[in-house]
Amino acid sequence: MIKTGSQNKIAQFFIKNNTYIIFLILFLACSIASDKFFSVLNLRNILLQQCAPILVSIGMLMVVLTGGIDLSVGSVMAVGSSLTAVLIVSYGLSWPLASAVSIIVGAIMGTITGLLVAYLNFQGFVASLAMMTIARGIAYTITNATPINLSKATLHVLSSGQYSYPIIWITLLLIIVFTVICNFTSYGRIVIATGSNSEAVRLSGIREKRYILSVYIISAILASCAGIFLAARSGVGNSTVAEGQELDAIAACVIGGASLAGGSGSVPRTVIGAFILALIGNIMNLLSIPAYPQKIIKGIIIVFAVMMQVFTDKRKEK
Amino acid sequence: MKEKEYQLEMHHISKQFNGVFVLQDISIQIKPGEVHALVGENGAGKSTLIKILSGAYTKDAGEIYIDGQKVNITSPLDAKKLGIAVIYQEFMLAPDLSVAENIFIDKLAGNKRFINWKKLQNDAKKQLEDLGFTDIPVMAKVRDLSVAHQQVVEICKCLTRDAKILVFDEPTAVLTLTETQKLFNVIRLLKEKGVSIIFISHHLEEIFELCDRVTVLKDGNYMGTCSVCDISKKDLIQKMIGRELTQMFPKRNATIGDVVLKVENLSVGKNIKDINFEVRSGEILGFSGLVGSGRTEVMRAIFGADKMKTGKVTFLGKNVKFTDPKCANAYGLGYLSENRKSLGLLINQSIRVNTTMASLCRVTKRGFLEKKKEKSYIVSLLETVKTKYGCIEDNVSSLSGGNQQKVALAKWISADCKCLILDEPTRGVDVGAKIEIYNIINKLAEQGVAIIMVSSEMTEIIGMCDRVLVMHQGRITGELQKENLSEENIIKLALKEVALV
């Protein structure tokens, strides 16, 4: 039949771009549901808000591509946020130096998780679960679990409109960098291949463990940056932030079509996945839905988004 | 109703995978108390047929009758209820439970009350004695038993389920000669009790010794059934291969040069010892032996995939130590692993990713992939190995077994190896693709690559190799030059018990 040919093409288009289509539909729905949604202020707010979750989601995606999972990102964010604030306020470091130190500390935590997973054969879930507790403990300890206020002159420049919102541009740059890494470098190719079948990669003469280690480091570095962004935006270094952020990051990856078994996933789609989650939260706020029912609705929408992914994936296989 | 002449009948069974027939119109009938051999080359469809019988696969077409009654087997549970049991090479035992518990595992699972240990032990003892085994301690952990005894436990377990049809899938591959004889006694005993037995084996001698009738499969087709008295070994092989041996293996004009790889005193784990051999450029060295004789372990240790206990490896005159596959690859040693789905290929990745996996540096510039260059390189490479594919972005899982194997080979060809270890290079590949793979191997040898070919297929070893080493229980039991290569000579060495020092 001739007709099925063109029908197939349309279907193929929808299947190929399902994440983007879900996002567009949601975006339109939000614009219709609330007249406050489609305003410069609100959209800019969403962008500023999403910088941190997007970075964490990209880091999570790198780990998920290898077939692992990193539950420690939320806690590592908290370390990034509170350590930077402590270094600025109590030790008088300049904000770039304090940020750099926080990122290095994050990298060390990622290295430990990565070493456990790659060389001591811990499951990613277990190793990062331990690191999640440790990092949260570190954040509490260094701040005594009290928020640390930063003066306007320091970290705030990162998210200030005066300098045209640097965190948005940094995030955009990192999205591009990681998209390129995943698609056009041998590093990205090997990371994805490792998630597909690490033993086959090893037998192809590649030291796959180094790549596994590296993704945990990347994930922790991006989480530290995200923590610094949070502190920059709120002006407070806080040890209790980003609890449960790891789950949102995993959800963003999955909504973006990544397989938790490893070997497939894409950076732009994961970013869209993070935005889908953000839109859901944003529109419910605008519609003044109370916080607790919001969680229920969010969970249900995640299920539907992933169901659509699974459904279209099956179609793709046929 | 039909008269009960046959215990089991399978009529016109067909099965397709991805549009390729792996079984086409197969019919087989088994009489009560008969030992029926099922033979054919690897990939002939024996296992698929057994998996349909045991409910692991569902058939696309055909009918199955048991005791003249039509049955519908859709799951392993159905098969179990109908009294069909399969003894696989990998036993379905719980290694940390006792012999008695394993034998009666079904009954234990259904029992809501406490276990009557005394009764359990006595019943188990009786089961074992019925088969003539009084020396297996019923309370020992299965893990601690020899493979042969584990097999007996597995058989006992099936008998407690009132199995009427017992399938043995290459049961002797893991047994020594004396153990094989013991197993045959057990099978004869079962036969007297009226159990129907399907016996799969590559060893034709065993079939002539033990079986009543034999059915031959080839490339998923039924080639005939006959009584073992009515057929000669030569005719049987003819039927299995379906052609004269010489046609299968193309001629090769390789000149044998210097030693590329030399292995001395290699030992791996507990069982593999005293491995010494060398292979020269342009030479095809075969490794034969039964499954489990340690060939793959030796190769993996040389390649650095597993640790070797002792041993000296000399590669191109240099003393080397391959601590991981990366080292081996860097020196120019490649290893095509025996199981392409789990070890060789990234089955859910594209042909592109797979083909250049072992030679990424060839298509990478400062860390960036040169995708255009990569594409034209892959296209020309896959053309030289005659791979049929749609587009290089397609998943390798969309290819047929033969074409998948060619991609796996291409991966190593592209790595520019000086020495290539091919572990079961034609497993699960149809005959046409086999010949093409032989051609590729010959071409590599002609280019001066030293080739080590591990294969369980005798015909292939005999047809392809310049020299063959035979292994048995972790040791090399002999070397055969081209002129002495025969199935008989190989089997003799493969079953030889080495006097332990």
Q: Where are the domains of chain A?
A: 38-317
As a whole number of angstroms, the distance between CA A174 and CA A54 comes to 10
> Does this chain's domain B8-243 share its CATH topology with B247-345+417-494?
yes
Does domain A38-317 fall under CATH 2.30.30? My reply is no
Question: Higher-confidence residue: B132 or A308?
Answer: B132
Q: Which of A203, A210, A211 to mutate to test binding with chain B, by most B CBs within 10 Å of its CB?
A: A203
**Per-residue pLDDT at A7:** 66
Q: What is the mean pLDDT of chain B?
A: 87
Mean pLDDT of B12-39: 87
Query: CB-based burial of residue B28 (10 Å sphere; 0-12 exposed, 13-18 middle, 19+ buried)?
Result: buried
Among B302, B6, B327, B50, CA closest to B166: B50
What pLDDT digit, counting tens, does each position of A137-166 carry? 999 999 999 999 988 767 888 888 787 789
Task: State the fold for domain B8-243.
Answer: Rossmann fold (3.40.50)
The answer to whether B421 and B234 are in contact (CB under 8 A) is no
Share of chain B above pLDDT 70, in %: 93
- What letter represents residue B417's amino acid? C
The answer to whether B209 and B199 are in contact (CB under 8 A) is no
A202-224 per-residue burial string, b: 16 or more CB within 10 A, e: under 16: bbbbbbbbebbbbbbbbbbbbbb
Q: Which of B349, B354, B374, B423 to mutate to test binding with chain A, by most A CBs within 10 Å of its CB?
A: B349
Taking CA atoms, what residue in B is nearest to A259?
B348
pLDDT band with cut points at 50, 70 and 90 for residue B42: low
Mark yes or no for CB contact B367/A187 under 8 Å: yes
User: What is the residue extent of each domain of chain B?
Assistant: 8-243, 247-345+417-494
**Per-residue pLDDT at A4:** 46
Mean pLDDT of B132-161: 87
CATH number for the domain formed by residue range(s) B247-345+417-494 = 3.40.50.300
Q: Which of B300, B302, B323, B326 to mutate to test binding with chain A, by most A CBs within 10 Å of its CB?
A: B326
What pLDDT digit, counting tens, does each position of B348-399 carry? 899 999 999 999 988 999 999 999 999 999 999 999 988 888 889 989 988 8
**Radius of gyration in angstroms for the set of CA atoms belonging to chain B, rounded to a whole number:** 24
- B→A contacts (Cβ < 8 Å), by residue, are 303, 305, 324-326, 328-330, 334-335, 337, 342-349, 353, 357-358, 360-361, 364, 367-369, 371, 411, 415
Chain B residues with beta carbon closer than 8 angstroms to that of A317: none
pTM: 0.76
Q: How far is A141 from chain B (nearest CA, A)?
A: 41
Taking CA atoms, what residue in A is nearest to B345?
A200
Q: How far is B348 from chain A (nearest CA, A)?
A: 7
Taking CA atoms, what residue in A is nearest to B363?
A186
Q: How far is A185 from chain B (nearest CA, A)?
A: 4
Mark yes or no for CB contact A206/B344 under 8 Å: no
Q: What ipTM, to 2 d.p.?
A: 0.85
Ordered strands of the B8-17 beta sheet: B69-71, B61-66, B8-17, B20-30, B221-227, B213-218, B35-39, B196-200, B165-169, B84-87
Chain B residues with beta carbon closer than 8 angstroms to that of A196: 346-349
Chain B residues with beta carbon closer than 8 angstroms to that of A187: 367
Q: How far is B386 from chain A (nearest CA, A)?
A: 22
Regions in chain A scoring below 50 on pLDDT: 1-4, 316-318
- What letter represents residue A17's amino acid? N
What pLDDT digit, counting tens, does each position of B51-69 carry? 999 988 888 889 999 988 8
The answer to whether B175 and B96 are in contact (CB under 8 A) is no
